[in-house]
Amino acid sequence: MKKKLKQYPNIYLALFVCLIAVGVGSVVGLTNRNSPEKTTDFSRITVQWSLENEQPLTDEANIGISGIADERIYPAEETTEKIEENKPYSGNFALPMGTDIIKDFSNGEMVQSKTMGDWRVHNGVDFGGSAGNEVVAVADGKITSVYDDSFWGTVVEIDHGNGMTARYCGLKSGSCLPEGSEVKKYDKIGSLGHIPVEISEEDHLHLEILIDGENVDPLKALNKVGES
């Protein structure tokens, strides 16, 4: 009898272990049921791979699209070609005031200024004369500006076409045609006055010629090179 009683504790131990195992299994099952499922979005991966590995339709680079100008490769053609023959170097022009040239165009070289006591470029041609002499237009054109300058006296600017602008400096204040006036070659545009920045020299007209905004040799622009 005592031998049989000693076996019962082992049976109870086995039953206890089984109950614990069942309880743990239930808890794990409930936990997995309430947790969100972790799934892989294979469609997203496919789209990402497609974008990163998309190949161009052609192996050639910078192909121009038919019918569309590609200015990154082929610069747009200029609508107006600047042909030398169209510049005013071969026309028939007048001189603005006589033929006595007392100071030439320096072409970027420094020349001495008697009035200022220094060396500087001379961007025009000086025509000698006397105060009150007539100053005429070198060609047909339109007066675009009339103003008084502290260095150059009264200045008249005339657009003579083909990118050519003439600056007549040293006229007498109040003697000039008004801005906007249309002029013909040899028309009087004003009378000679004085030039403050060159006052130490004899009376003269300072003429500058600009082609497309850049100073050039006035005698060359007026086709007078070699003439006196």
* pTM exceeds 0.85: no
- CATH number of residue 216's parent domain: 2.70.70.10
Domain match, 95 and 180 both: yes
Nearest Cα neighbor of 142 from 124, 156, 153 is: 156
How far, in Å, CA of 141 to CA of 98, rounded? 20
List Cβ neighbours of 101 (8 Å cut-off, separation of 6 or more): 125, 126, 127, 128, 219, 228
Q: Which domain holds residue 18?
A: 2-28
What's the token pair of residue 87? Answer: 């510049």
- Look at residue 173 and tell me if it is in a domain: yes
pLDDT of residue 64: 36
Residue that is written with structure tokens 């794990």 in the block: 28
> Quick check: helix, strand or coil at residue 135?
strand
**pLDDT at residue 77 tops 60:** no
- Look at residue 214 and tell me if it is in a domain: yes
- Look at residue 79 and tell me if it is in a domain: no
How far, in Å, CA of 75 to CA of 125, rounded? 39
> DSSP character for 118?
E
- Look at residue 140 and tell me if it is in a domain: yes
pLDDT of residue 211: 92
**pLDDT at residue 16 tops 70:** no
pLDDT of residue 112: 83
Q: What is the pLDDT of residues 163-206, one digit of tens each?
A: 999 999 999 999 999 999 999 999 999 999 999 988 888 899 99
How far, in Å, CA of 159 to CA of 144, rounded? 6
- Look at residue 57 and tell me if it is in a domain: no
Q: How many domains is the chain partitioned into structurally?
A: 2
- Which of the pair, 157 or 25, is modelled with greater confidence? 157
- Look at residue 72 and tell me if it is in a domain: no
